[in-house]
Amino acid sequence: MNELIEETRKRRTYAIISHPDAGKTTLTEKLLLYGGAIRLAGSVKARKAQKHAVSDWMEIEKQRGISVTSSVLQFDYNGYRINILDTPGHQDFSEDTYRTLMAADSAVMLIDVAKGVEEQTKKLFYVCKQRGIPVFTFVNKLDRYGKNPFELMEEIENVLGIRAYPMNWPVGVDGDYQGVYNRKLARIELFEGKGNHGSTAMASKAGDVHDPEFKALLGESIHNALCEDIELLDMAGDQFDFAKVKSGELTPMFFGSAMTNFGVQSFLEEFLQLAPEPAPRLSSQGEIKPDGEEFSAFVFKIQANMNPAHRDRLAFIRICSGKFTRGMEVLHVQSGKPIKLAQPQQFLAQERAIIEEAYPGDIIGLFDPGVFGIGDTLCPLGRDFTFQDFPVFPPEQFARVQAKDTMKRKQFVKGMTQLTQEGAVQVFRQPDSAVESFVIGTVGSLQFEVLEYRLKNEYGVTIIMDRLPFGVARWLAGSEADIKAIKSMDSGLLVQDIKDRPVALINNEWSLNWIVERNPNIRFLTVPEDS
Ligand code: GDP
């Protein structure tokens, strides 16, 4: 097998999607623990530290002093090269969080056993679904009381519209689980002792479910209950069908506890076996296969350095095909210019390390002299194709912004244009507006502060920002006359996006339904039709 194919097959590039506090940071630490990247996971210490002040990765970096990046974390396990993509949550939830999923080949959906499917998880799940990214489920905090496992399966199906296939099943009683039963191997793994706060990999015992030793260990009633559950799952549940996982109809479901390490290692091992390797990507010239010899990649995130002295921007690319070598020259398709990739970066703790080579599935950072935009393609010189456009995500928070000092109009427009290109916010125009103002939309409120800060610090423009009372944006499809005469929009606002497509900004879902009913000739789309 050639080197490129071998390296590509080793790659597993995935994101962990969850609602804040479900345990993403803890699980990530534990995955690193098993990967040997750290010897002592620090959830105990981290818990005591001030939480959520910065992004989770930076938090881990500070706590552990280990090699993690601001956007991706790479480690090796059992012959796999794993890239975990960070999906910022908490107050820095933004479009970036969604766009990161474009670089993933699969996602791990982390659910708190007591809370079930929460709001942010839902949003991220739908993006995965829309993009055809297979989702694996890890139900966390099994060391605590929570919802019944059957109830959770039902909730996943009802709320997310995907069937769940339990790969393992908790053993014991709610709040006092003793281990997990692995359905494929028909084996029980029992965990011993809970006293060490999960700071080391946990010892476990494995054996056949009918092993008298297990029966004795579990006690008659727990053993019987487990056998009943398993029988029910086998009879009434779905068959495991990997094609359905790939097509988004089925999610393999695991139970465990990131904090006490319960079920984490077996999850990691099964997940790595099942999780897809880097997949072919669709381009304007057909499918680009990862093991094609020619290098190609796309930009999925641009991060500005907040330090005004440097002002450098970093473009994060996901390699789609071919081998990357430092210093190679490629075509940046959108500008039509050749670019030498001289200083590829990987982010190791506080330092940036230069890397020499990388393979499909890997994520690297490039210095951006201001040419890259989100979704841009890099391809071999002499070729000219683009990867599929990035989808537009429906913003949920809106504000009107204008320059406080009208003399600064030029810088204001320049700043807004560049920040839009970076994908920090979505910009809309109100066609008949008299003042030079923009309506901006975001998916998280931190973006407003970031915009204000950056316009001031990087462009010297102070802005006036008025939050608008809308919560829903819908792209409108229909005849121009119908859209112009749209009814019941008294409390809404009709605007245009940067491609001049009409968009209705509406207070809430309730008002939206009202408007939809009164405008049967117009279709209300959550994303523009051609994205
Ligand atoms: P994140 O916001 O998703 O990154 O969540 P964290 O990893 O910061 O965890 C949120 C809280 O849940 C912290 O107090 C963790 O210690 C706790 N936690 C995480 N995993 C578990 C678990 O398996 N069991 C219990 N009981 N608590 C957990």
Closest-lying ligand 1 atom to the alpha carbon of residue 89: 2
* Strand extents, DSSP E, 355-459: 357-358, 363-368, 377-380, 397-403, 426-428, 438-442
With a 6 A CB cut-off, is 56 part of the ligand 1 pocket? yes
Rg (CA), the chain: 25
Residue 135: closest CA among 108, 117, 157: 108
pLDDT bracket for residue 49 (50, 70, 90)? very low
Does residue 350 register a pLDDT over 60?
Answer: no
Does residue 378 register a pLDDT over 80?
Answer: yes
Q: How far is the CA of 172 from the centre of ligand 1 (A)?
A: 22
Q: How many CB atoms lie under 10 A from the CB of residue 515?
A: 23
* pLDDT one-digit tens code per residue, 387-406: 988 877 889 999 999 999 98
Both tokens of residue 530? 């051609």
Per-position b or e across 95-111, b if 16+ CB within 10 A of its CB: bbbbbbbbbbbbbbbbb
Q: How far is the CA of 27 from the centre of ligand 1 (A)?
A: 8
Both tokens of residue 17? 């999607």
Q: Whose Cα sits closest to atom 26 in ligand 1?
A: 141
| C-alpha span between 461 and 370 (Å, rounded) | 20
With a 6 A CB cut-off, is 183 part of the ligand 1 pocket? no
Pocket test for ligand 1, best of 47, 119, 259, 260 (most atoms within 8 A of CB): 259
Residue 168: closest CA among 158, 157, 155, 179: 179
| C-alpha span between 226 and 380 (Å, rounded) | 56
Does residue 192 register a pLDDT over 70?
Answer: no
Q: What confidence score (pLDDT) does residue 37 get?
A: 59
CA 103-106-110 angle, to 5 degrees, is 115
Q: What confidence score (pLDDT) does residue 174 get?
A: 82
Report which residue type is found at 37: A
Give the DSSP H or E segment for 417: helix 409-421
Q: What confidence score (pLDDT) does residue 503 get?
A: 95
Does residue 439 register a pLDDT over 90?
Answer: yes
Q: How far is the CA of 478 from the centre of ligand 1 (A)?
A: 47
pLDDT bracket for residue 196 (50, 70, 90)? very low
| C-alpha span between 163 and 458 (Å, rounded) | 48
With a 6 A CB cut-off, is 197 part of the ligand 1 pocket? no
Does residue 410 register a pLDDT over 70?
Answer: yes
Mean pLDDT of 326-348: 83
Q: How far is the CA of 346 from the centre of ligand 1 (A)?
A: 28
Q: How far is the CA of 141 from the centre of ligand 1 (A)?
A: 7
Q: What confidence score (pLDDT) does residue 38 get?
A: 53
Inter-residue contact 441 to 472 (CB < 8 Å): no
The residue with tokens 């480690």 is 75
* pLDDT one-digit tens code per residue, 260-284: 888 898 899 999 999 999 999 999 9
Q: What confidence score (pLDDT) does residue 348 get?
A: 40
Q: What confidence score (pLDDT) does residue 41 get?
A: 38
Average pLDDT, the chain: 84
* pLDDT one-digit tens code per residue, 19-44: 989 999 889 888 877 776 554 434 33
Higher pLDDT, residue 354 or 391: 391
* pLDDT one-digit tens code per residue, 112-137: 999 999 998 998 999 899 889 999 99
Say what the pTM is: 0.84
Both tokens of residue 346? 């990987």
With a 6 A CB cut-off, is 43 part of the ligand 1 pocket? yes
The residue with tokens 């245009």 is 496
Does residue 80 register a pLDDT over 60?
Answer: yes
Q: How far is the CA of 204 from the centre of ligand 1 (A)?
A: 22
Higher pLDDT, residue 165 or 212: 165
Does residue 245 register a pLDDT over 90?
Answer: yes
Backbone angles phi, psi at 207, to 5 degrees: 180, 175
Q: What confidence score (pLDDT) does residue 321 get?
A: 97
Backbone angles phi, psi at 58, to 5 degrees: -65, -35
Closest-lying ligand 1 atom to the alpha carbon of residue 260: 23
Q: How far is the CA of 23 from the centre of ligand 1 (A)?
A: 4
Q: What confidence score (pLDDT) does residue 200 get?
A: 54
Mean pLDDT of 473-491: 93
| C-alpha span between 523 and 154 (Å, rounded) | 32
Higher pLDDT, residue 266 or 48: 266
Least confident of 104-113, 234-243, 403-412, 429-438: 429-438
- Which residues, 6 or more positions from 452, have their beta carbon under 8 angstroms from its beta carbon? 463, 465
| C-alpha span between 317 and 295 (Å, rounded) | 12
Backbone angles phi, psi at 378, to 5 degrees: -115, 130
Q: In angstroms, how far is CA 399 from the centroid of its own chain?
A: 25
| C-alpha span between 245 and 106 (Å, rounded) | 10
ipTM of the complex: 0.99
Give the DSSP H or E segment for 411: helix 409-421
Per this entry, what is the length of the chain? 531
Q: What confidence score (pLDDT) does residue 195 get?
A: 45
| C-alpha span between 519 and 492 (Å, rounded) | 14
Q: Whose Cα sits closest to atom 22 in ligand 1?
A: 141
With a 6 A CB cut-off, is 141 part of the ligand 1 pocket? yes
Q: What confidence score (pLDDT) does residue 208 get?
A: 77
With a 6 A CB cut-off, is 322 part of the ligand 1 pocket? no
Least confident of 48-57, 150-159, 296-305: 48-57
Q: How far is the CA of 73 from the centre of ligand 1 (A)?
A: 19
